[in-house]
Amino acid sequence: MHSRGLIDELLELLFPPRCQLCQQPGNDPLCETCLEDALFIGDPICDLCGAPMPEQRPAGQLCEECRDGRILSAARAVGLHELTLRKAVHHYKYQGRTRLAEPFGAMLARVIHRATERGLPMDRCAALVPVPLHPRRRAWRGFDQAELLCRHISPLIDLPVAGDVLRRVRDTTPQTSVQGAHERRENVRGAFEASGAKCLRGRALILVDDVFTTGATIEECVSVLRNAGAVAVYAVTITRTTPHWMLARNELLEGRDDASGHGTGQA
Ligand SMILES: [Zn+2]
Ligand SMILES: [Zn+2]
């Protein structure tokens, strides 16, 4: 134990902990200055997909994309896929900044707590289910981003991680390089399989992923889990795409076109 502490101290001397975005020395993987530019989602939101809404309306309000209903029970995200959070997700996934899983996990746990306080029974779910990568992509990346998020959320909300109930059986074209909601749905059709149907029957689950764009990947997973007997499937993500009505408000999105922009062509 003693020597391990010494090694840690030496490592800290050589590589002092830094903000994973701006590289300022400090213990927080995401520093206060970087977090100032995060666009967290607050009320009012669509009751179903969690998208920000222009104004407060009576309970049960749904955004345009949700008017025809969705197979998922409800989705919630920490913030908009812009500025700090977009950059952080990008660094996390593509540059192996896995320390970011810690603040992301805490943020996602808060989102689940808040949703529960507002009447979604997420706390009564049986488990957290990561949206899995294809084994080939996982091997290449070295970690599974959604599974690592689940492991950080799990102790904070006291729910187990069910990492083996959903498998990606087809290595699809990354959704970031597929345009259009219909095309995205087609791209992930049949890409997932459920295993352990017995343990899914009658259960409510929380799917965890990094980004909610059109919801095509998440809804494909929901449909597979529902067919295997799950009664309700919620979804939480770090970010979600900015709704059209907000894109008109350019002042929110200064810095949109910086180096780590949209459409990286990777999953
Ligand atoms: Zn920073
Ligand atoms: Zn919606």
Residue 258 has a pLDDT of 46
CB contact burial 232-241 (16+ within 10 A = b; e otherwise): bbbbbbbbbb
> Residue 90 has which token pair?
């990008």
Residue 73 CA, ligand 2 centroid: distance in Å: 11
Residue 224 has a pLDDT of 96
Residue 205 CA, ligand 1 centroid: distance in Å: 34
| Helices and strands of the chain, counted as H and E runs | 10, 6
Q: 């805490």: which residue's tokens? A: 106
Residue 187 has a pLDDT of 87
Helices marked H in 95-239 — which ranges? 101-117, 135-141, 145-157, 181-188, 197-200, 216-227
For residue 68, the ligand closest to its alpha carbon is 2
Delineate the domains of the chain, giving CATH numbers in brackets.
1-36 (no CATH), 39-253 (3.40.50.2020)
Residue 74 CA, ligand 2 centroid: distance in Å: 9
Residue 61 CA, ligand 2 centroid: distance in Å: 8
Residue 198 CA, ligand 2 centroid: distance in Å: 31
CB-proximal residues (5 Å) to ion ligand 1 = 19, 21-22, 31, 34
CB-proximal residues (5 Å) to ion ligand 2 = 46, 48-49, 51, 63, 66
pTM of the model: 0.88
Mean pLDDT by 10 residues, the chain (267 residues): 70 84 93 96 93 80 88 96 96 94 98 95 94 91 95 97 92 84 87 83 96 93 95 97 85 50 40
Residue 25 CA, ligand 1 centroid: distance in Å: 9
**Distance in angstroms (rounded) separating the CA atoms of residues 140 and 146:** 15
Residue 42 CA, ligand 2 centroid: distance in Å: 14
Residue 121 CA, ligand 1 centroid: distance in Å: 34
Residue 67 CA, ligand 2 centroid: distance in Å: 7
What does residue 86 show for φ and ψ, rounded to 5 degrees? -65, -45
Residue 10 has a pLDDT of 82
Name the packing angle between helices 216-227 and 181-188 (round to 10°).
Answer: 40
Residue 62 CA, ligand 2 centroid: distance in Å: 5
Sequence letter at residue 216: A
